[in-house]
Amino acid sequence: MRKFLVPGVGAALVAGVLLAPGNAAVAADSPDISVTNTKAHLDQLQSIATSNGGNRYTGRPGYKASADYVKAKLDAAGYTTTLQSFSTSAGTSYNVIAEWPHGDADHVVMAGSHLDSVSAGPGINDNGSGSAGVLETALAYAASGQTPKNRLRFGFWGSEELGLLGSKYYVNNLPAADRDKIELYLNFDMIASPNPGYFVYDDNPSGDAARDDLVTYFTGKNVQTEFIDVQGRSDHAAFRSLGIPTAGTFSGAEEIKTSAQATKWGGTAGQAFDACYHRSCDTISNLDLTSLDRQIDAIGHMIWLYAQKDYTGGPPPAGGNLLQNPGFESGTANWTGTTGPITDNTGRPAHSGSWKAWLQGNGRATTENIAQSVAIPATATAASLSLWIRIDTAETTSATVYDTVKVQVVDGSTATTLATYSNLDKSASYVQKTLDVTQYKGKTVTVKFVGQEDSSAQTSFVIDDVALTAG
């Protein structure tokens, strides 16, 4: 089934596309990304390796030929491409960056894969598979004739095998303003392992929505998934460390498939997902085409879905919460400030869910803060800021303030403290506070919580379920 509909609501329901409440975008039906075309890209990468000493390693001719192949295909499809070179201990390396020159450039959705192999072999599963899949998805999007709401960008990274060098080089050389525009980065590194598993990355709370979309997609195709905490093992890490939401999939490398995994996915228990991982036998014969087919359709699903995501916020409903991620369940997403306070550490309870902002509790002279910018509509007749706070302390005094948290509104360069809570306000359970912020209507201000402790005896100020409402 190949449908490139830009459907109305009826078609979206027929296609089974469930849109999150409040998301006005209408997602096009999931595409069927061609496994035949993807396999043809892999044949080309194999022949590039074969005619260049058997690999596509950094600094060797097989790598540059791989980059030239991918770039030429994207150029021909109408992408704006860049060959970004950088130097490594193994020689010059290259990233290929391709942008579809349509859609809102302030909201960028990215997918990427590493294009280099190890020196031992041609690297067809690792990572010809992800590269061919991302390339074919990009080509299919161009051919679909759709105009995305957001800007789509694809990255083919050099020198992943030398320590994620290409993706790090790319993010380190992106101006801060451009980093902020990247709404999502999806990574695909090894997606056609010969004894495949279906793993979904789970290592970045701000990517949980995309992670869940991947799981929902596979579940809808009757493919069970497992989460995997891939941490720094692939190129999404550079994006994640900038606070960009990331997600990805993986069909397994050197790890051994368990019998429970063989029961759910087929294949052979007691053997590696990819016994040729990083070896000369990672050739065109080292692929499971069913895994490849399912995985590329998942890439297509995510690109079509996120191409239409509404990242502009739209007008908030009257009386609704103007703060994003107000209960901290998406980790640090939407919040700025010092590192550490936003946590799911179980040392203190959340008011709801498991995440909260645990300010201070250090027992030494320190200060911590978290903040979020918010626009309060000019049309509001009243606006209020509410929060739940739980305070415990090792201070024994009932008279002296030693440790504090201030609730502030920052308007331009002026910070106004609306309330101060201290070690004297300790309470074993959460207490709700409501503060009036009507005077800031029509302004974009920053809501800020600032903690401060003296040199001994901890006080923990734990804040959760913050709301700024205007009506």
Binding site for ligand PHE (CB under 6 A): 126-127, 160-161, 189-190, 230, 233-234, 250, 253
Closest CB to Ca ion among residues 217, 358: 358
Nearest to ligand PHE of 163, 471 (CB atom): 163
* Burial of residue 440, with CB atoms counted within 10 A of its CB: 0-12 exposed, 13-18 middle, 19 or more buried: buried
Site for Zn ion in 391-450 (CB under 5 A): none
Nearer to Zn ion, 84 or 127 (CB): 127
CA dist 298 and 172 (Å) reads: 29
Q: How far is the CB of 248 from ligand PHE (least distance, A)?
A: 7
Cβ distance to Zn ion smaller for residue 282 or 453: 282
DSSP string, 318-366: TTSB-SSSTT-TTTTTT-EESSSSEE--TTS--SSSS-EEEEE--SSSE
* Residues from 353 through 372 that contact Ca ion (CB under 5 A): 353, 355-356
Please pick, among 99, 160, 183, 453, the residue that the annotation labels catalytic.
160
Nearest one of 173, 129, 390, 149 to 282, comparing CA atoms: 129
Binding of residue 213 to Zn ion (CB under 5 A): no
Judged by CB, which is closer to ligand PHE: 239, or 328?
239
Q: How far is the CB of 57 from ligand PHE (least distance, A)?
A: 12
Q: Of Ca ion, ligand PHE, Zn ion, none, which one does residue 184 interact with (CB within 5 to 8 Å by kind)?
A: none
Residue 160 annotated among the catalytic residues of the structure: yes
Count CA atoms closer than 13 A to 179's CA, side-chain side. 17
9-16 long-range contacts, CB within 8 A, separation 24+: 16/220
CB atoms near residue 290 (< 10 Å): 13
Q: Is the dihedral of CA 436, 442, 443, 446 positive or negative?
A: positive
Residue 282 touches Zn ion, criterion: CB under 5 A: no
3-state secondary structure 42-88: HHHHHHHHHCCCCCCCCCCHHHHHHHHHHHHHHHHHCCEEEEEEEEE
Min dist CB 407 to Ca ion, Å, is 18
Residues that contact Zn ion, how many (by CB under 5 A): 3
By the rule CB under 5 A, 189 interacts with Zn ion: yes
Longest distance between any two alpha carbons in the chain, whole Å: 81
Least CB distance to ligand PHE at residue 280 (A): 15
The residues facing 370 across adjacent strands are: 337, 449
Could you tell me the smallest distance in angstroms from the CB atom of residue 246 to ligand PHE?
A: 12
Q: Does 350 bind Ca ion (CB under 5 A)?
A: yes
Active site residues: 160
The footprint of Ca ion (CB under 5 A) covers 327-328, 350, 353, 355-356, 464
Residue ranges that bind Zn ion, judged by CB under 5 A: 126-127, 189
